[in-house]
Amino acid sequence: MPSPSGTDAAPVRPGPPGSGGKPPDPVLTAERDYLRQSREYLRLMRENVLGLRAMAGDRVSEEYLKADLYRRAEVLRDIPDAPLFFGRLDYAEGSVWSDQEAEEAGGQAGTAAGQSGGYLPVFTTAAG
């Protein structure tokens, strides 16, 4: 039977230090879980690369392959202080300059091909 005072209810967990004891924001909690999972996948990808055996038709090709696998493993190394970036930027309507707006501001607008095949806005000024 439940207690009339409510003492048998699940306790509210306090939030992180400096939050005034409020429960954590569910959106932030979900983002932190997503980043934790992403770092775990990054670790698994690196372990996969480190577990590959360099096999080639001759010694020179094998050494090139070993060097490539080493470089790939280094790129996949997690740097805890650096944020993860997933390569997608969404721009609000009107936040990207048109060619005419750029010229009026004394610069030049354009696009640069991104890795995903999309185009990223680029704005250069006369000084830069």
CA separation for the pair 128, 84 (Å, rounded): 28
Give the residue extent of every domain in the chain. 23-86, 90-128
Tell me the Cα Rg of the chain: 25
CA separation for the pair 32, 25 (Å, rounded): 11
SS3 72: helix
Which helix (H) or strand (E) element contains residue 107? strand 107-113
Per-residue pLDDT tens over the stretch 24-43: 888 889 988 988 999 999 99
| Residue 54 confidence class, pLDDT cut points 50, 70, 90 | very high
CA separation for the pair 63, 59 (Å, rounded): 6
pTM: 0.49
